[in-house]
Amino acid sequence: MKLFSTNAFVIYIKKLNEADLLLTYITEDYGKITCFANNARKSRKRFLGKLEPAMLTRIKFYEKAGMTLDILYEADIVEDYKNVRKDIDIYLFLTKIAEVSRVLCQERDNNKNIFYLTRAIYKGLNHVGAKASSPDFSMTAILLKYEIYFISNLLKYTGISPNFSTCTVCSEKNADNKFYFSLKKGGVVCGSCANSGNNTGIRNLPVNFINLSNLMMESDLSIINKLVVKEELLRECSTFLEDFLSFHIGKRLKSFESL
């Protein structure tokens, strides 16, 4: 039996019966993988307290002939983001991050950037959780920034990032950042093209919106943490990205409706 080993984040857990679990991970070396964990809910030595969200684990797994799923052998905690679990808003926010990852990432499509992006979000939110009691701290604003940062970069790494640079109809360059956006075409549309045909699904994009989206994909999280942006703009950007993602995958994610 050949064991594979890698660092991993749990993004989905499903109970199969009284003892077994099905777990989906974002891993450092193998992309997204799905593992069958035999007797996981009763095995204290191998799995107790090590299969939860909000922690980075070192997992060992193996392939079994005749099975499409990997078999989880054991897991050990590498980093435990305890502050994340102390704040209900942050913990619920992670369900959105996990659902987006599970939908967009393909099995065994390894992209280390996605793993490092996920780790940066978890570490950042753990730090945020430690400051949550501060009277001048806006949890809503920071979670909106983290959502925009995560989805924008995940779309970039999966190759489906929105086009903000040229008109998708006539290829005119977006020199002044005043284009409209077409969900159907997946990119910006200049004023002339937007007014010349079917306007269904086309919306106006303000200058600050495009600038913020580009900044999110060009900066690391330490810069985003210091960024001061009006909550109204953050909500607008968040709504757009959720709409874009929903249109791309053909359905509205549950976490978009509840969070």
Q: What is the pLDDT along the chain (259 residues), one digit of tens a residue?
A: 789 999 999 999 999 988 999 999 999 999 999 999 998 988 877 888 899 889 999 999 999 887 889 999 999 999 999 999 888 899 889 999 999 999 999 999 999 999 999 999 999 999 987 776 666 668 889 999 999 999 999 999 999 988 888 888 888 886 555 678 888 888 888 888 888 766 667 887 766 878 888 889 889 998 888 889 999 999 988 999 999 999 889 999 999 987 6
In DSSP terms, 4 is beta-bridged to 61
SS3 content of the chain, % helix, strand, coil (to 5): 45, 25, 35
Domain-terminating residue out of 31, 65, 80: 80
pLDDT value, residue 203: 81
CB burial string 100-123: b at 16+ within 10 A, e below = bbeebbeeeebbeebbebbbbbbe
**Among 1, 153, 151, 127, which residue's Cα sits nearest to residue 72?**
1
57 alpha-carbon distance from chain centroid:
18
Residues 217 and 172 in one domain: no
Residues 30 and 10 in one domain: yes
Residues 93 and 57 in one domain: no
- DSSP 8-state secondary structure symbol assigned to residue 51: S
Domain-terminating residue out of 80, 115, 148: 80
104: its two tokens: 């967009």
pLDDT value, residue 36: 95
133 alpha-carbon distance from chain centroid:
25
Residues 10 and 120 in one domain: no
pLDDT value, residue 165: 82
In the chain, the number of structural domains is 3
Residues 150 and 225 in one domain: yes
**Among 36, 2, 42, 34, which residue's Cα sits nearest to residue 18?**
42
Residues 149 and 171 in one domain: no
Query: What is the pTM (predicted TM-score) of this model?
Result: 0.91
